[in-house]
Structure 1
Amino acid sequence: MPVGIGQLTCLETLSMFAVCSSTECAGIQELERLNQIKGELSIKGLGHVCNQKDAEQANLRNKKRLAKLNLWWSGGDDQEGVDPLHENISKEVLEGLHPHSNIQELQIQGYPVWKFQWLIFSSWLPFEI
């Protein structure tokens, strides 16, 4: 995603937002002011988000017109070798991505399966897995 996309505050359609680790690409914070987007949004590359504060800056709670949200971490590789630091960051990032309650469908992909039990305790998920 290009740096500066967050300035398009009247943007209504953004089907995919890719986060990368390069400073030449948009960080997840670029989503902060894009509160008019509607329909479906996929956020890919969440493994590049460094902390809960950055995830919260995406401001998903104020995207009232989103119906479907897809959150993609690393793409489904075997995550058994994930170190504890990365595990904690993933938990914090997921917590920071709390969407608006209007979300009708939530899909999480690439989040390490063995950590999925933690989702039961997430403060914003309205159901148990």
Structure 2
Amino acid sequence: MGNLINLWHLRNECTDCVEFMPKGMEKLTCLRTLSEFVVGSGGKGAALSELGNLIHLRGELEIRGLGNVRDEREAEKAQLRNKKGLTSLVLIIGWTFFDKSKVSEASVLVLEALEPPLDLERLLIGAYKCLTPTLGVWPSWIVSLTKLKFFGLSNCVDVEQLPPLWKLPSLESLRLWQIGGVKKVGVEFLGIETSSLSPSSSSSAVVAFPNLKSLIFRYMEGWEEWDYGSRGEEDIKIMPRLSSLEIHGCEKLKMLPDSILQSTTLQNLEISLSPVISNRCKGEYQPHISRIPKADIW
């Protein structure tokens, strides 16, 4: 592989059977396109640090097998933050989204070291488990991605707290699936302290998720409560541009927030395999649901 020093494009997507990249990847310094990079176990193949020399990468990049990285310094050497041309990044701890075997206590530090360029537009994190809560649940750099338009979390086992995504002003699409440890989505998700929800607090308006248009929850098995507190509508606007909401396989979810039910921008609502919410949509929520142009409840 190291002999292909003039190679510009290596499109190797959809290669779940690949267990590692060949050594010598660091010599492909002309590469503009690299669909996937797989970190092998036991020192097999190219190390994650070999990405450091590929400064011209642009477009989309998926990195799998991050659970095999035992030292965050190796992740730092990948220098993702210096790859200004990257617009889409997928970070998977295991071989695939559903592989938990490669999760380690190093996962938190490795993700922290894989800080992407600030202009990133799409980010997906999969098969992640926070085994060291004292280090922080999510990488600190997430809130710095002010141009991020899409964010997804998949199969993040035992994670109990969602990142403060409200700080991402450009976010348009948010997809959360199989995050079994989350029981409540509330004010902490919006980054608003409970004390600030009191009537005596400042009347300055707060806008959470100002550009979010699409929101999807799938198979959040532990999710029971979705509540944004009692702050007045004149003080806070939540997802003022939301046009599509999908909830699938959230069996324990009990209620929808008033801000969702009273939304005037919601054009599409899909709820399935969530019996409590589905029954409410056919009952007490029906006056609100009837105003939504496309509502599929079952």
Q: Could you state the TM-score of these two structures normalised by the residue count of structure 1?
A: 0.84
Look up the equivalent residue of 1:118 and give its one-letter code. V
Of Structure 1 and Structure 2, the greater strand share is in 2
Displacement of 1:23 in angstroms is: 3.2
Q: Deviations over 1:26-62 (max 9, x none)?
A: 0101100101011100000000011110110111011
Give the equivalent residue in structure 2 for 1:128: 164
Find the counterpart in structure 2 of residue 58 from structure 1.
78
Q: Is the Cα–Cα contact under 8 Å of residues 91 and 125 in structure 2 kept in the other structure?
A: yes
Q: Tell me, yes or no, if the aligned pair for 2:108 and 2:130 is still in contact at 8 Å.
A: no
Residue 77 of structure 1: how far off its partner (Å): 4.0
1:81-111 CA-partner distances (Å, limit 9, x unpaired):
x7xxx32x11100101001101111100111
Could you tell me which of 114, 118, 126 is aligned with 2:137? 118
State the one-letter code of the partner of 1:124.
W
Aligned partner of 2:32 among 1, 5, 12: 12
RMSD after superposition: 2.2
The residue that corresponds to 1:71 in the other structure is 91
Aligned to 1:106: 123
Paired with 1:50 and 1:40, the residues of 2 have a C-alpha distance of 25
Q: Which has the larger radius of gyration?
A: 2
Shift of 1:24: 3.9
Identity %: 41
Q: Aligned partners of 2:52, 2:100: CA distance in 1, in Å?
A: 31
Matched, 1:28 2:45: no
Runs of 4+ in 1 over 4 A off after TM superposition: 113-117
Residue 44, structure 1, aligned to residue 44, structure 2: no
Equivalent residues of 2:59, 2:88 under 8 A apart = yes
Structure 2 distance, partners of 1:118, 1:43, is 20
CA distance in 2, matches of 1:77, 1:23: 19
Structure 2 gaps, min length 5: 1-20, 144-162, 166-298
More helix as a share of residues: 1
| 1:103 partner SS | coil
Aligned length: 121
Matches within 5 A, 1:81-92: 86-87=104-105, 89-92=106-109
User: Does the aligned pair in 1 maintain the 2:99–2:127 contact within 8 Å?
Assistant: yes
Q: What SS does structure 2 have at the residue aligned with 1:61?
A: helix
The one-letter amino acid of 2:137's match is W
Which deviations, in whole Å up to 9, do the C-alpha atoms of 1:98-128 show, x marking residues without a partner?
Answer: 0110111110011127879711xx3211161
Where does the alignment leave 5 or more consecutive residues of structure 1 unmatched?
Answer: none
Greater relative contact order (CA < 8 Å, ≥ 6 in sequence): 1
Task: Give the whole-Å Cα distance in 2 for the aligned partners of 1:107 and 1:56.
Answer: 19
